[in-house]
């Protein structure tokens, strides 16, 4: 796997495209009409186009981009989309370039730093409320695509934490190639054998993970599921006060089954995971 050393001079612009794609899932329990209304209100507040725009602005700051254009839309009855076109800026000095690396995990929401830039950032949400058993599943699809020396991996930990996902599927791919002045092609400009290389310790401790990587194609895939959860955090309309411990335990089992079905991509009755 070729990489671009710091002393290699490129012919023109770095033409590598790096794309990071998330499918993030948030699971809840809302069985009664009142609980479903509260859940919808929660979704409208936490994942409105306005809030998602602010989240993407932080992503743009983390990867160091300049926003050229923003389009956002709230949908009826629920759901939202935001798209940002972003542009690269020039590195001003060798010292500044030293900061633009892939070597450490990106920042968490409480510790935002300005770095890097380019291309586009998008988010689309898919809320679902099913009356059959009270399980509600919210999905957010996020794409961060950059070009040049910069890396969308810088936004990895921030997005996982700020959206507090129960399950996540993450894809990272480096496409194209760039050339050094002697004409040699370089198909990647950083070392990576797993998306997990760029996750913070608390992310790694919170989730169980499975990798499917195709190194020859610069394609990396990681699936994540929360290791532990407190059922109290998944209830609406003061359900915790009305439910017995036995009922809470049953709901916890159903939430766990929902998470694992999404994680493994099949229903429980199709074969135990």
Half-sphere exposure (CA, 13 Å, Cβ side) for 65?
28
Out of 28, 48, 119, 136, pick the active-site residue.
119
Out of 28, 115, 136, 147, pick the active-site residue.
147
* Strand order, beta sheet including 66-74: 66-74, 80-87, 119-129, 135-147, 17-29, 167-175, 219-226, 207-214
Within 10 A of 53 (CB to CB), how many other CB atoms are there? 16
Known catalytic membership, residue 145:
no
Known catalytic membership, residue 28:
no
> CA–CA separation, 86 vs 92, rounded Å?
19
> CA–CA separation, 88 vs 115, rounded Å?
11
Out of 124, 161, 221, 260, pick the active-site residue.
124
Known catalytic membership, residue 124:
yes
CB 209 within 8 A of CB 161: no
Question: What's the DSSP call for residue 189?
Answer: S
Q: Which residues are catalytic?
A: 119, 124, 147
């Amino acid at each position: 796997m070729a990489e671009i050393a710091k002393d290699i001079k490129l012919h023109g612009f770095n033409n590598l495209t790096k794309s990071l794609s998330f499918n993030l899932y948030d699971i809840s329990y809302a069985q009664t009409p009142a609980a479903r209304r509260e859940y919808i209100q929660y979704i409208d507040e936490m994942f409105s186009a306005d809030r998602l725009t602010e989240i993407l602005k932080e992503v743009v700051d983390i990867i160091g981009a300049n926003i050229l254009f923003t389009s956002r839309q709230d949908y009826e009855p629920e759901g939202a989309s935001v798209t940002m076109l972003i542009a690269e800026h020039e590195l001003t000095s060798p010292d500044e370039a030293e900061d633009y690396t892939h070597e450490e995990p990106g920042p968490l929401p409480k510790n935002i730093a300005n770095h890097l830039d380019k291309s586009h950032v998008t988010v689309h949400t898919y809320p679902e409320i099913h009356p059959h058993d009270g399980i509600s599943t919210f999905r957010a699809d996020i794409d961060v695509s950059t070009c040049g020396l910069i890396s969308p991996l810088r936004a990895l930990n921030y997005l996982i934490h700020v959206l507090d996902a129960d399950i996540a599927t993450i894809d990272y791919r480096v496409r194209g190639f760039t050339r050094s002045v002697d004409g040699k092609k370089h198909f990647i400009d950083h070392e990576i054998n797993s998306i997990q290389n760029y996750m913070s310790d608390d992310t790694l401790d919170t989730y169980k993970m499975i990798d499917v990587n195709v190194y020859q194609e610069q394609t990396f895939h990681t699936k994540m599921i929360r290791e532990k959860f407190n059922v109290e955090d998944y209830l609406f309309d003061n359900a915790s006060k009305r439910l017995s411990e036995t009922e809470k335990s049953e709901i916890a089992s159903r939430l766990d089954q929902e998470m694992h079905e999404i994680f493994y991509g099949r229903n429980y009755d199709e074969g135990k995971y």
